[in-house]
């Protein structure tokens, strides 16, 4: 049996419905496509999801099938046996609950165990249905200012965010899945929602690096991927972080030493509109240091990217090497086997014990 050629392109795009149509297939087969991101509209039940992911992999074994599956209000698969995971703020709150022993460290340890359980359930359930990767965890700090982040954040305290995110990452790793910290360097301060506006964060570089960016610095090698924010940090650069060489090359790559994958956030969002056309936005993001660009909910814009985006062979080869590291390295358990798995049952029991799931 010949080895599959793994050469993913830089574009991650979505599909229209719960099964592939001819246009979906055409886009997935395009050599610039490297990933498919799924949404709630693509999920009806486990059987349908598994059939959809198998069809995608049959067309392109080298594309990364991804999803936004954080828990709380950002979870695409919530029914037909999927565990409805808690919002990450619930884990931060558990950290602060006084344990019966009276020792704060006991509460912190329990919160970290719960976070690991969340990561394990998230990874194993998705992988049992053919999904390779989830854009999680959120590393934004909860300043109480950003409604789009809100309870998606673990905490205001960067040390708690670091500890709980590292635990989630460990759970993902045990389940055979990589991770993605977002939204670098931090979306917690800017009040505007980058889906519908262009947020601006007016704080100094020193403030951001000494607070919001600390989880990225501390997580270091445990971070597989990073997604920058569609936020303009006006004292640092005129461009949003996802289009900024200052943020992605000088700070993230050089100063923080990050060697994993950098994904742009969705180029159809209003926060990306400062770049101009979607093709210009993708070119700017890739030039700034992104390995892959997301285009969601706009098939017409995806077609523009596929037909007009120019990427050098060297850049694509370098990014493909990084992207391939996000692929699961081991076979996934079937859903039936997963239900009998002792580690899976323990993880569910732990979250039920802490009343984090029903």
Where b means 16+ CB within 10 Å and e means fewer, 64-81 reads bbbbbbbbbebbbbeeee
Question: What is the H or E stretch that residue 124 is in?
Answer: helix 104-128
- Tell the burial category of 155 from Cβ atoms under 10 Å away from its Cβ (0-12, 13-18, 19+): buried
Verify whether residue 195 is a known catalytic residue.
yes
Verify whether residue 99 is a known catalytic residue.
no
> What is the C-alpha to C-alpha distance for residues 135 and 117, in angstroms, rounded to an integer?
17
- Active-site residue identified among 84, 103, 195, 346: 195
Closest-CA residue to 129 (of 43, 209, 204, 32): 43
Question: What is the H or E stretch that residue 181 is in?
Answer: strand 180-184
CB contact at 8 A, 281 and 267:
yes
Q: DSSP letter string over 62-91?
A: TSEEEE-EEETTEES--STT---PPPHHHH
CB contact at 8 A, 187 and 229:
yes
CB contact at 8 A, 57 and 65:
yes
Peptide bond into 321 cis (omega under 30): no
- Active-site residue identified among 62, 265, 266, 291: 265
Return the active site residues. Answer: 195, 265
């Amino acid at each position: 049996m010949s080895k599959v050629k793994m050469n993913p392109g830089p574009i991650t795009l979505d599909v229209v419905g719960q099964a592939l149509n001819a246009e979906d297939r055409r886009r997935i087969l395009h050599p610039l496509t490297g990933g498919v991101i799924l949404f709630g509209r693509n999920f009806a039940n486990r059987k349908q999801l598994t059939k959809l992911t198998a069809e995608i992999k049959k067309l392109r074994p080298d594309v990364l099938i991804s999803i936004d599956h954080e828990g709380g209000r950002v979870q695409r698969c919530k029914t037909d046996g999927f565990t409805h995971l808690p919002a990450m703020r619930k884990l931060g709150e558990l950290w602060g609950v006084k344990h019966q022993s009276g020792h704060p460290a006991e509460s912190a340890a329990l919160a970290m165990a719960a976070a690991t359980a969340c990561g394990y359930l998230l990874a194993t359930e998705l992988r049992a249905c053919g999904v390779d990767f989830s854009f999680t965890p959120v590393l934004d700090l909860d300043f109480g200012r950003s409604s789009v982040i809100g309870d998606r954040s673990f905490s205001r305290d960067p040390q708690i965010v670091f500890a709980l995110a590292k635990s989630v990452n460990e759970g993902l790793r045990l389940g055979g899945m990589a991770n993605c910290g977002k939204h670098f360097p931090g979306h917690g301060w800017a009040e505007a929602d980058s889906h519908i506006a262009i947020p601006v964060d007016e704080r100094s570089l020193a403030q951001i690096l000494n607070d919001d960016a600390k989880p990225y610095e501390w997580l270091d090698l445990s971070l597989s991927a990073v997604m920058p924010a569609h936020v303009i940090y006006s004292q640092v650069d005129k461009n949003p972080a996802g289009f900024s060489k200052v943020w992605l090359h000088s700070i993230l790559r050089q100063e923080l030493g990050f060697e994993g994958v950098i994904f742009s956030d969705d180029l159809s969002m209003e926060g990306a509109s400062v770049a101009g056309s979607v093709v210009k936005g993708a070119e700017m993001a890739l030039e700034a240091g992104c390995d892959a660009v997301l285009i969601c909910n706009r098939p017409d814009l995806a077609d523009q990217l596929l037909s007009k985006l120019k990427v050098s062979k060297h850049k694509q080869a370098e990014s493909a090497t990084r992207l391939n590291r996000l692929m699961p390295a081991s076979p996934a358990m079937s859903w039936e086997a997963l239900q009998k798995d002792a580690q899976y049952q323990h993880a569910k029991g732990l979250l039920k014990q802490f009343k984090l799931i029903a």
